Amino acid sequence: MRIYIMTDLEGVAGVCQWENRDDDGPWNTQRRTRLSRLLAREVNAAVDGLAEAGFDDIIVNDGHGAGSTIDYEIADPRALYYHGLDRPFWLPFLDETCDATGAVGAHSKARTPDGTLSHTMSSAIRRWSFNDIEVGETGLQALIAGYYGVPFVFAAGDVWLCREIEELCPGCVTVPVKYGTGRHSALTLVPERACEVIREGAQRAAEAIGRVEPLTLESPVLFRDERVEPTWDEETDAEEEGVRIINAHVREVEGDDLMDVLMKMYPQYDRDFKPEQWRPGVRT
């Protein structure tokens, strides 16, 4: 049984400040080392619980920032990890071969009141919706999974993210590890306790597979992309097929299905990229 786990940093217990990847100094380097450890421990707790729940095939996407945040020296060797930059897609290996998907370290979508480190992809984005369903990063993950018929069953992170994803994917298991009280503050479990509750929640993730409907969209798919700053130019950006500029903050992108829209949003991605079902091992 295969599960695909997306990870992020901002929803990890004990984190209430952005990661600074520009400061190379000793203090910040130590801080980043600790963040990697905190994330790895939460991932390990999830992997442990998921393995106990019967998942024998666990792919973890190291999704935060520079794409290599998890401390691999302590990461659970039972999982495989997808990491790095210049990726051919946001969530490679999440496809119809997966039985379920989930998230660890997840944060709420942009402009969530009291959501700790809430954002959607970057600080530039104000609001994203697909066919009027408002999503953050975790919601988009659930939609991509749904495109392949895969249910979103498990999330660990900020309580506001948990509520957000429960609404989109009723029946999924959520594990709030902190209670956001503002963009840069939270009431949090200490890392050790967070790992305990994540393990317990992950153990119940398999039960949610039959219970949660994959999150799907009707065709055509209309993506609405709202930016904080004036970004789009009504006179030039509308020339692209399927793109409508509503005003300088808002554009709409229409496509036959979700993947069609995603390829218009991210022209650098390769729609034909279909990775092999790879497993490490001795080859003779």
Partner 1 sequence: MKVYMVTDLEGVAGITQWDPRHEGDTPATAAVRQRFGRWLAEEVNAAARGFFAGGATEVIVNDGHGAGQTMDVELLDPRITLFHGTQRPDYCTGLDETCDAIASVGTHAMGGTPHGNLAHTMGRGVRYYSFNGIHVGETGLQAFLAGYYGVPYVFCAGDEWAVREMQELCPGCVGAAVKMGTSQLSALTCTPARAREIIEQGAEQAMSVIGQVEPLDLDSPVVFREEHDEQRFDEESVPPDRRVINSHTLEIEAETILDVLNIKYGHDPDWKPAWRQQPQADTEG
Q: Which is nearer to partner 1, 83 or 227 (CB)?
A: 83
Footprint (CB under 8 A) of partner 1, residues 22-51: 24-26, 28-30, 32-33
Find, among 105, 41, 101, 52, the residue nearest to 75 by Cα: 41
Find the shortest distance in angstroms from Cβ 58 to partner 1.
11
Cα–Cα dist 276/19, whole Å: 33
Work out which of 50, 75, 162, 186 binds partner 1, going by CB under 8 A.
Answer: 75
Among 82, 90, 223, 232, binds partner 1 (CB under 8 A): 82
Q: Please pick, from the candidates 4, 90, 93, 148, the single residue that binds partner 1 as defined by CB under 8 A.
A: 93
Tokens of 66: 């520079």
Q: Provide the pairing of β-strand 100-106 with 152-158.
A: parallel
Rank residues 122 and 268 by Cβ distance to partner 1 and give the closer one: 268
Binds partner 1 (CB under 8 A): choice among 218, 241, 272, 276? 276
Shortest reach from residue 89's CB to partner 1, in Å: 9
CA-nearest of 36, 59, 77, 55 to 173 is 55
Choices 83-91, 104-112, 220-228, 243-251; region in contact with partner 1 by CB under 8 A: 83-91
Report CA Rg, the chain. 18
Q: Name residue 60's beta-bridge partners.
A: 5, 81
Which of 218, 236, 239, 284 is the binder for partner 1 (CB under 8 A)?
284
**Binds partner 1 by CB under 8 A, chosen from 12, 35, 57, 81:** 81
Q: Which of 35, 59, 140, 195 binds partner 1 (CB under 8 A)?
A: 59
DSSP letter for each residue of 180-194: EEETTEEEE--HHHH
- Region binding partner 1 by CB under 8 A among candidate stretches 120-128, 191-199, 213-221, 269-277: 269-277
- C-beta separation of 211 from 192 below 8 A: no
- Considering the complex, what minimum distance in angstroms separates the CB of residue 284 from partner 1? 6
Given the complex with partner 1, which of 101 and 108 has the nearer CB atom?
101
- Out of 17, 84, 210, 234, the only residue in the binding site for partner 1 (CB under 8 A) is 84
- If you search the block for the tokens 């203090």, which residue do you land on? 27
How far is Cα 79 from Cα 69, in angstroms, rounded to an integer? 16
CB-based burial label for 236 (10 Å; 0-12, 13-18, 19+): exposed
Residue 268 in the binding site for partner 1 (CB under 8 A): no
Smallest gap from Cβ 41 to partner 1, in A, equals 14
Instruction: Please pick, from the candidates 73, 132, 218, 229, the single residue that binds partner 1 as defined by CB under 8 A.
Output: 73
Spatial contact of 178 and 246, defined as CB atoms under 8 Å apart:
no
Type and span of the H or E element at 175:
strand 173-182
Strands 57-62 and 2-7: parallel
Task: Pick the closest to residue 108 from 170, 28, 174, 192 (CA basis).
Answer: 174
Q: What is the distance in angstroms between the CA of the first residue and the CA of the last residue of the chain?
A: 26
Interface with partner 1 by CB under 8 A: which residues? Answer: 24-26, 28-30, 32-33, 59, 67-68, 72-73, 75-77, 79-88, 92-93, 273, 275-276, 278, 280-284
